[in-house]
Amino acid sequence: MSAQPKRDLLAELSLSSARWTRIWGVPELERRSSIEWSRRMTRSLGVCYPRRGTVRVAAYLQKAERPFVEEVLCHEMAHLAARELYGDRIRPHGREWKRLMQAVGYAPRTRLVVPAGLQPMPRRRKRRSFVLYFHRCQVCQLIRVTRGPIAPSGCRACGHGVLTLIRRL
């Protein structure tokens, strides 16, 4: 039994993005920009960095239907095109961006409902350490409380003493 090749949806959508950029009057924009998956995105579907020419799409959308991902990608590519056509002083979802979305057949919306079963994997958060460290100045007896041990350093209060660890709680 042979393994199926991994689906690269962004590569499949390169023809669509080439068509959009031609319609928008910025041919070859898709070649000058980079489109990548982001595993870190859990709250938004896509993000555009116009100055870098980069579009990031949430990695969990690889399992989504093509039309859904296509709309997300078009939304972000329209930001790149709007900046190139009108400069960087326009509003992100202003009338220029809306015209670009309508020109390729999409409603200019800023929110999409994620299909059922496509929710992102919850990110595991590090547990915060509640250990406290107490450091005392040997000259003025000031006690400084920190969340982690610090190297012996000069006391900021008196300027003469050295803070040393006295207790961990």
Handedness of CA 84, 89, 91, 94 (dihedral sign): negative
The predicted pLDDT at position 114 comes to: 87
- For the chain, residues with pLDDT lower than 70 are 1-8, 121-129, 169
The predicted pLDDT at position 169 comes to: 66
pTM of model > 0.85:
no
**Predicted confidence (pLDDT) per residue in 4-53, tens digit:** 444 567 777 888 899 999 999 998 898 899 889 998 888 899 999 998 99
Name the active-site residue from 70, 71, 76, 84: 76
The predicted pLDDT at position 26 comes to: 95
Q: What is the 3-state secondary structure (H, E, C) of the chain?
A: CCCCCCCCHHHHCHHHHHHHHHHHCCCCHHHHCEEEEECCCCCCCEEEECCCCEEEEEHHHHHCCHHHHHHHHHHHHHHHHHHHHHCCCCCCCCHHHHHHHHHCCCCCCCCCCCCCCCCCCCCCCCCCCCCCEEEEECCCCCEEEECCCCCCEECCCCCCCEEEEEEEC
Indicate if 76 belongs to the active site: yes
> In DSSP terms, which residues pair with 48 in a beta bridge?
55
